């Protein structure tokens, strides 16, 4: 059986982009008779707020996107992450933000920095008097996988990603580790999420392999863009669900979104459950979804 999930971060209200991802994850699972899980990704205590958690439940219900089970909150799973962290090859990193900035060139494609490995071979006598972050010591693996929507993806992890952080200096585990442990332990078979996470997936697959977990099927859905091609972000207040709810009912919102995403030919109101019978991944466009001002 297919087991899928939504994994929203409670760092703000849902946005049209999150709604689209949730709709796609839901349609994929429900159209194939699978099980849908909800996981609140409150890993980062500085950014997560209880009011946003409550709003996520309410907004998903309002949209008609239901779930069968809720997974444990990430903030409650530190011991589990510690256990899996201890099984991985890691080293302490004492680099400050400034040092990271000056020593590591931004990656050409998305501005992400590739860690040059400054602390990888430090001997304990070279350790600094401050609490380190912990990085994974990558090998030379080239990770290749087939994304259900984007096709073949290949990444040389050390060259294109670099030894990434698994635990921050404040003790918070990295999203990359938490998401792998949570999806694997939750027996998730299908991960549907935004295309902005496509470049993180090889690093996550490497963790799956190191920890002996089964790798799920991935589908990275297109991002929403303005007519000029600029990525729409959470800053676009008009596309925040609290604003959208004041202007339309859920059927109208889903109908317009499905139309813009080319899942339907007309923008008529429709419920998610009525989109299910015609849903197939082959019909989903890989191109960014253009949202104009009068959505």
Distances (CA, A) of 117 to 100, 107, 192, 200: 10, 15, 32, 18
Task: Tell me how far, at minimum, the Cβ of 176 lies from ligand GLU, in Å.
Answer: 10
Q: What is the DSSP letter of 148?
A: T
Beta bridge partners of 106: 113
Q: Scanning residues 146 to 185, which ones bind ligand GLU (CB under 6 A)?
A: 179
Helix 16-31 crosses helix 50-63 at what angle (to 10 degrees)?
Answer: 50
Segment interacting with ligand GLU (CB under 6 A) among 6-14, 67-75, 130-138, 287-295: 6-14
Q: Pick the closer one to ligand GLU by CB: 55 or 270.
A: 55
Q: How far apart are CA 197 and CA 175, in angstroms?
A: 11
Contacts with 133 (C-beta within 8 Å, 6 or more apart), sequence order: 92, 93, 95, 165, 167, 168, 169
Residue 10 lies near ligand GLU (rule: CB under 6 A)? no
Q: Which of 174, 129, 170, 138 is nearest to 157 (CA)?
A: 138
Segment interacting with ligand GLU (CB under 6 A) among 4-12, 114-122, 148-156, 249-257: 4-12
Q: Scanning residues 37 to 96, which ones bind ligand GLU (CB under 6 A)?
A: 41
Task: Tell me how far, at minimum, the Cβ of 178 lies from ligand GLU, in Å.
Answer: 9
Q: Scanning residues 257 to 286, which ones bind ligand GLU (CB under 6 A)?
A: none
3-state secondary structure of 178: helix
Q: Scanning residues 186 to 215, which ones bind ligand GLU (CB under 6 A)?
A: 193, 197
From 2, 9, 92, 274, residue interacting with ligand GLU (rule: CB under 6 A): 9
Residues of the shown chain interacting with ligand GLU in the complex, contacts defined by CB under 6 A? 7-9, 41, 179, 193, 197
């Amino acid at each position: 059986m297919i087991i899928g999930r939504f994994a929203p971060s409670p760092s703000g209200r849902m946005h049209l982009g999150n709604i689209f991802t949730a709709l796609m994850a839901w349609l994929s699972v429900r159209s194939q008779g699978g099980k849908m899980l909800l996981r609140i990704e409150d890993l980062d205590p500085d950014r997560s707020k209880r009011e946003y958690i409550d709003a996520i439940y309410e907004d998903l219900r309002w949209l008609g996107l239901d779930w069968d089970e809720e997974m444990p909150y990430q903030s409650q799973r530190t011991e589990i992450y510690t256990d899996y962290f201890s099984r991985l090859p890691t080293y302490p990193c004492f680099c400050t933000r400034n040092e990271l900035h000056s020593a590591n060139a931004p990656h050409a494609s998305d501005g992400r920095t590739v860690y040059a490995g400054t602390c990888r071979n430090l001997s304990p006598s070279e350790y600094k008097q401050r609490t380190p972050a912990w990085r994974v010591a990558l090998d030379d693996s080239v990770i290749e996988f087939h994304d259900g929507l984007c096709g073949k993806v290949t990444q040389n992890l050390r060259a294109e990603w670099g030894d990434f952080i698994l635990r921050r200096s404040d003790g918070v585990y990295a999203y990359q580790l938490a998401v792998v442990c949570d999806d694997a332990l939750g027996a998730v078979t299908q991960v549907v999420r935004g295309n902005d996470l496509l470049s993180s997936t090889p690093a996550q697959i490497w963790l799956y392999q190191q920890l002996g977990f089964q790798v799920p099927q991935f589908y990275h859905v297109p991002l929403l863009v303005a007519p000029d091609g600029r990525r729409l972000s959470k800053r676009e207040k008009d596309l925040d669900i609290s604003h959208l709810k004041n202007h339309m009912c859920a059927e109208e919102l889903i109908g317009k979104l499905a139309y813009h995403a080319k899942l339907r030919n007309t923008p008529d109101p429709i419920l998610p459950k009525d989109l299910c019978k015609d849903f197939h991944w082959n019909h989903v466009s890989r191109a960014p979804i253009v949202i104009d001002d009068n959505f």
